[in-house]
Amino acid sequence: MTVVEFLGCMFLAFGPPFFMFILTIAHDPVRIIILIAAAFFWLLSLLISSFWWFIVYPLRNDLVFGVIFSVIFQEFFRGVIYSILRRAQIGLTKLTDDTTTLIENKHILAYVSGLGFGIISGAFSLINVLADSVGPGTMGLKSGTEMFFISSSTITLCFILLHTFWGVIFFDAMDKKNTLVITAVVVSHLLVSCLTLLNRYQVYYYTIVPIAIICALTGLFAFKTAGGSYKGFKSSFVYR
Amino acid sequence: MELMDGHVATKTSSGQGNSRHALPNDNKRRDRRDHPSDSGDASGNRETERNEQSRTSGQSRRHSIDIPSEMSRHEEEEELKYGAKHVIKLFAPVSLCMVVVVATINTVDFYSVKDMYLVYTPFHEESSETTTKVWNAAANSLILMCVIVIMTILLILLYKYRCYKTIHGWLIISSLMLLSIFSYLYLEEVLRAYDIPMDYPTLLFGMWNFGVMGMICIHWQGPLKLQQAYLIFIAALMALVFIKYLPEWTTWAVLAVISIWDLIAVLMPKGPLRILVETAQERNEQIFPALIYSSTYMYTSVTAADDSSTRTSNTSPDEHGFTRDWVDNHEERAARRRVDEPQTGGRSTTGNQANQPSAYDEEERGVKLGLGDFIFYSVLVGKASSYGDWNTTLACFVAILIGLCLTLLLLAIFQKALPALPISITFGLVFYFITKQIVTPFSDSLSNEQVFI
C-alpha cells in the first residue's frame, strides 16, 4: 500500500500543477524565473509567519492564530510581488521572446506568479507527509485514519489551484483598484484556511467538499476575470 | 518586431568582419560585436577594444556608426533576453546536480554516515560541548581554506609561467582518479544500497567504458550533452565526497568561508582568480576551460571545417592545451568558482545567414559556471537533505536558484566575471538555518493537524 499510496497521492496533488507547468510555463525562460521568484516570495511570507508564530509563544499551540497571520502575510507578499512585477513589466517584455503575449495579456504574469505561490505552498505542506507515506508504517492501521494521505493531497491540489486563481483575480483587482475583490480574495483565503482547521476532527466531508466548491467557484471567477467565456471554452475543444 | 529589425541590422553590420576573430580578448570581443553601436556610455575598456575592431574590420564598423543610438538599447535588450535563456541553461544542470546528490544522500546510507574524515580536517568534532565543536569547525575550515589559497596561487603561478604541460597532466590525473576510483566507490555503494549483485567482469567492463569515455569527452571531444553530463556527474561525486568526509559543523563553516574567499579572489584587484582571468584574456585563451561548465561548445576545431562559414574558433585545441574537466584538488575548485560572461561558442557568421532571423536563434552564446559552484551548491542542498527534512531542502534549493538568478542579473549589468557563490550560498545558509529552527516546527505542527495555509 505504501509505495502505491505515495505515487497516487503525489500524482493527485502535483500532477495537474506539473502539467500546467510543462504546458504553459516551461517553454519561456522568463516565466520560469518569475515562477521561482514567486516561490521565493511565498517562502519569505512563510518565514515571517513562522517568526511571528515563534515569537508569540503563548499562542503557539493555538494554530488559528498562526494560520490567520500567515494568510495575511501571504496576501501581503502577493501584493509585493504584484507591485514588483508591474514595475518591472516593461523590462520583462524585453526579456521574453513572445513580447506581444506578455504585453497584451496581463493575466499571464498573474497566472505564473499565482502558480508559483501555489506550487511552493503545496510542496511545503505535503512534501514531508508524502515522504513519510512511503513507509515503513501505514496510516490508519492502529490509530488515525487511513484517509489521512489522500485527504491531504486532495486539499493540497485545491490549494495549488486556488493560489493560481487568487493570483489572477488579485492582480486584476489591483489593476482596477477594486478593493472589494481584493478583500474577497483575502477573505476566501482566510475562510479556506480556517476550514482546514476542522481536519483535526477528521470530518473530511465537511472540509474537502466546501473547499472544492470554493475552488471551483474561484476558478470560474478567475476564468471570467481573465476574459474567458462559455463560447471560448467550447471552442477550445474544437480540433483545428 | 522592432527588436528583430534591430538585431538583423546588427548582424549585417558586424557579420562580415571575420578578421576580427584574430583579435585578442575573445570574451570582450563578443561584447563588442553585440554593441557595435554602443554610444558613449560604453566602458572605457570596451571603447579601446572597439578601436581595435575598427582598425581590423573598418568596413563593418562604418556601417554600424550610422545606426541610431536606440540600436544600442535594442542590443542591450537582446543581451538581457539571452540572459534569461542563460539563466535557464544554468538552472537545469545545477538542479540536476543537486537532484543526483540529494537522491544519493537519501538512498545510500554510506554518504551520510560519519566514519572517516579528510586529512585537511584534523579536528573531528567528537566532543559534546558546543564551544569545542565551534572552534573545531573554525579551525578545520581555516586549514582547508589555507590549502585552497595555496593551491590556487600555485596554479596561477604555473599558468603565469606557461607550465601548461604540468597543469594539463595534473588535471588529467585528477579527473582520471575521479572517473575511476571515486566512481567505482560510488557504484559499489549504490549497488550495496539497492542490494543488486554484480560480478567483477561486468563491473570492470562497465567502469572501463565509463571512465575512458569520460576522459575522451572531457579532455578531447565528444557530444556536448555527454560532456556536460560527465561534468555534472563529477561535480555531484565531489559534492558527495565533501558531504561524507567533512565533519558536521565544518561543512557549514567551509561553505561560509569559501564564499567569502570567492568574493575576495574574484573581485579584489590582486585576487588570484582575477589575475587568472586577466592573464587568460591577455593571451587570448579560454579562461581555464578545464574547470568550467559551459552551455555551449568551447572548442570548434572539427566542426569548423565542414562548411564555408567562418567559425569563431577561439583557439585550436593545441593552443589552449587544456580543456575543461574536473579535478579533486582544491586549488582548481577556487578557479572554477566563477561565473563567466556569456562567451562565444562556435557561431557561424556568414553574411547571407545574417539576414534571416532564424540565424540569430542558432547562434550560440554560452554561459559558463565554475564546477566549484556546482559542487558547493550541491553540498549545501545535499547536507540540508541529509537531516531528512524535505522542507529545508526545498527552501535551500529555491534560495540557491534565486541567488544564481541575482548573480546572473549582476553579470548582465557589470559584464565581467563575478563570483557565483556569495549570494547563493548566503541565501542558502540563511534559509537553511531559519527553516530548520523556525519554519519546520511551524509547518510540522500545521501538517500534523492537516491545516493548510
Q: pLDDT tens digits for B297-330?
A: 554 333 333 333 333 333 333 323 232 333 333 3
Boundary (domain end) residue, out of B40, B72, B104: B72
pLDDT above 90 coverage of chain A, percent: 53
Q: Which residue of B has its CA nearest to A122?
A: B452
Is A95 within 8 Å of B83 when comparing Cβ atoms?
yes
Burial class from Cβ neighbours inside 10 Å (0-12, 13-18, 19+) for residue A176 reads exposed
Instruction: Enumerate the β-bridge partners of residue B366.
Output: B343
User: What is the pLDDT confidence band of residue B269, given thresholds at 50, 70 and 90?
Assistant: confident
Q: Check pLDDT > 50 for residue B393.
A: yes
Cell numbers for A224, please give them: 471570467
Say if residues A30 and A94 touch (Cβ distance below 8 Å). no
Q: Which of B272-286, B308-322, B382-396 has the lowest mean pLDDT?
A: B308-322
**What pLDDT, on the 0 to 100 scale, is given for residue A99?**
56
pLDDT tens readout for residues B118-154: 877 788 777 778 888 888 889 989 999 999 899 888 8
Q: Examine the domain organization and report whether B159 and B183 are in the same domain.
A: yes
Whether residue A70 lies within 8 A of chain B, CB to CB, comes out as: yes
How far apart (Å, rounded) are the C-alpha atoms in residues B81 and A96?
A: 6
Report the Cα A237 to chain-centroid distance in Å. Answer: 26
Mark which residues 165-184 of A lie under 8 Å from B by CB. none
User: What is the pLDDT confidence band of residue B217, given thresholds at 50, 70 and 90?
Assistant: confident
| Chain B contact set for A46 (CB, 8 A) | 439, 442-443, 453
- Name the nearest CA neighbour of A147 among A3, A9, A20: A9
Across the interface, which of A32, A53, A196 has its CB nearest the CB of B450?
A196
Is B262 among the catalytic positions?
yes
Q: Examine the domain organization and report whether B66 and B51 are in the same domain.
A: yes
Boundary (domain end) residue, out of B11, B37, B72: B72
How far apart (Å, rounded) are the C-alpha atoms in residues A23 and A110?
A: 16
Q: Examine the domain organization and report whether B63 and B77 are in the same domain.
A: no
Q: Check pLDDT > 70 for residue B80.
A: no
pLDDT tens readout for residues A143-177: 777 888 889 999 999 999 999 999 999 999 999 99
Q: Examine the domain organization and report whether B51 and B172 are in the same domain.
A: no
pLDDT above 90 coverage of chain B, percent: 24
**What pLDDT, on the 0 to 100 scale, is given for residue A104?**
65
| Domain membership flag for residue B36 | yes
pLDDT (mean) for B101-110:
90
How far apart (Å, rounded) are the C-alpha atoms in residues B428 and B374?
A: 13
Higher pLDDT, B350 or A114: A114
Q: Check pLDDT > 90 for residue A235.
A: no
| Domain membership flag for residue B339 | no
Whether residue A203 lies within 8 A of chain B, CB to CB, comes out as: no
Rounded to a whole number of angstroms, the CA Rg of chain B reads 24
Percent helix, strand, coil in chain A, to 5, is: 85, 0, 15
pLDDT (mean) for B227-248:
90
Interhelix angle B26-34/B44-56, nearest 10 degrees: 80
User: What is the pLDDT confidence band of residue B115, given thresholds at 50, 70 and 90?
Assistant: confident
Q: Which residue of B has its CA nearest to A44?
A: B431
Q: Give the Å distances, CA to CA, from B338 to A60, B179, B264, B266, B293.
A: 44, 23, 12, 8, 10
- Strand, helix or coil for residue A61: coil
Neighbouring C-beta atoms of residue A83, cutoff 10 Å: 10
**What pLDDT, on the 0 to 100 scale, is given for residue B75?**
58
Angle of CA points B276, B282, B288, to nearest 5°: 40
User: What is the pLDDT confidence band of residue B76, given thresholds at 50, 70 and 90?
Assistant: low
- Strand, helix or coil for residue A239: coil
Catalytic residue selected from B26, B31, B38, B262:
B262
**What pLDDT, on the 0 to 100 scale, is given for residue B332?**
41
Mark which residues 2-41 of A lie under 8 Å from B by CB. 29-30, 32-33, 36-37, 39-40
**What pLDDT, on the 0 to 100 scale, is given for residue B33?**
37
Whether residue B438 lies within 8 A of chain A, CB to CB, comes out as: yes
Higher pLDDT, B283 or B191: B191
Is A156 within 8 Å of B402 when comparing Cβ atoms?
no
- Strand, helix or coil for residue A226: coil
Mark which residues 206-235 of A lie under 8 Å from B by CB. none
pLDDT (mean) for B97-108:
92
Structural domain of residue B196, as residue ranges? 73-294+366-448
Q: Which residue has the cell 476532527?
A: A201
**What pLDDT, on the 0 to 100 scale, is given for residue A98?**
58
Higher pLDDT, B259 or B276: B259
| Chain B contact set for A193 (CB, 8 A) | 451-453
Burial class from Cβ neighbours inside 10 Å (0-12, 13-18, 19+) for residue A128 reads buried
| Domain membership flag for residue B299 | no
Higher pLDDT, A184 or A60: A184
Whether residue B119 lies within 8 A of chain A, CB to CB, comes out as: no
Question: Among A43, A147, A150, which would you mutate to test the B interface (most chain B Cβ atoms within 10 Å of its Cβ)?
Answer: A43
pLDDT (mean) for A58-71:
86
Say if residues B277 and B336 touch (Cβ distance below 8 Å). no
- Average pLDDT of chain B is 70
Mark which residues 77-96 of A lie under 8 Å from B by CB. 91, 94-96
Domain count, chain B: 2
Q: Check pLDDT > 60 for residue A123.
A: yes
pLDDT (mean) for B345-350:
32
| Domain membership flag for residue B330 | no
What size, in residues, is chain B? 453
How far apart (Å, rounded) are the C-alpha atoms in residues A129 and B89?
A: 32
Q: Examine the domain organization and report whether B67 and B80 are in the same domain.
A: no
Q: Check pLDDT > 50 for residue A68.
A: yes
User: What is the pLDDT confidence band of residue B343, given thresholds at 50, 70 and 90?
Assistant: very low
Whether residue B198 lies within 8 A of chain A, CB to CB, comes out as: no
Q: Examine the domain organization and report whether B99 and B10 are in the same domain.
A: no
Q: Examine the domain organization and report whether B36 and B146 are in the same domain.
A: no
Is B395 within 8 Å of A94 when comparing Cβ atoms?
no
Q: Which amino acid is at A140?
A: G
pLDDT (mean) for B329-355:
37
User: What is the pLDDT confidence band of residue B280, given thresholds at 50, 70 and 90?
Assistant: confident
Q: Which of A37-41, B109-113, B219-223, B296-300 has the lowest mean pLDDT?
A: B296-300
Burial class from Cβ neighbours inside 10 Å (0-12, 13-18, 19+) for residue B198 reads exposed
**What pLDDT, on the 0 to 100 scale, is given for residue B121?**
79
Boundary (domain end) residue, out of B72, B98, B122: B72
Q: Examine the domain organization and report whether B107 and B54 are in the same domain.
A: no
Whether residue B409 lies within 8 A of chain A, CB to CB, comes out as: no
Is A193 within 8 Å of B85 when comparing Cβ atoms?
no
| Chain A contact set for B398 (CB, 8 A) | 36, 39-40, 43, 120
Q: Which helix (H) or strand (E) holds A118?
A: helix A107-133
Q: Examine the domain organization and report whether B422 and B442 are in the same domain.
A: yes
**What pLDDT, on the 0 to 100 scale, is given for residue A59?**
78
| Domain membership flag for residue B255 | yes
- Name the nearest CA neighbour of B99 among B431, B448, B382, B299: B382
Catalytic residue selected from B26, B325, B340, B373:
B373
Q: Which residue of B has its CA nearest to A28?
A: B85
- Tell me the CA end-to-end span of chain B in Å, nearest whole number: 43
| Domain membership flag for residue B301 | no
Is A43 within 8 Å of B81 when comparing Cβ atoms?
no
Q: Check pLDDT > 60 for residue A222.
A: yes
Say if residues A25 and A112 touch (Cβ distance below 8 Å). yes
Q: Examine the domain organization and report whether B106 and B245 are in the same domain.
A: yes
Q: Examine the domain organization and report whether B174 and B203 are in the same domain.
A: yes
| Chain B contact set for A124 (CB, 8 A) | 391, 394, 443
Most distant CA atoms of chain A, gap in Å: 62
- Average pLDDT of chain A is 88
Say if residues B180 and B359 touch (Cβ distance below 8 Å). no
**What pLDDT, on the 0 to 100 scale, is given for residue A76?**
94
How far apart (Å, rounded) are the C-alpha atoms in residues B25 and B11?
A: 20
pLDDT tens readout for residues A28-42: 888 898 999 999 999
What is the side-by-side order of every strand in the sheet holding B339-344? B292-294, B365-370, B339-344
Task: Return the top range by mean pLDDT from A72-86, B158-172, B343-357.
Answer: A72-86
Q: Which amino acid is at B158?
A: L
Across the interface, which of B83, B87, B450 has its CB nearest the CB of A200?
B450
pLDDT (mean) for B254-270:
88
Q: Examine the domain organization and report whether B285 and B378 are in the same domain.
A: yes
**What pLDDT, on the 0 to 100 scale, is given for residue B237?**
92
**What pLDDT, on the 0 to 100 scale, is given for residue B361?**
35
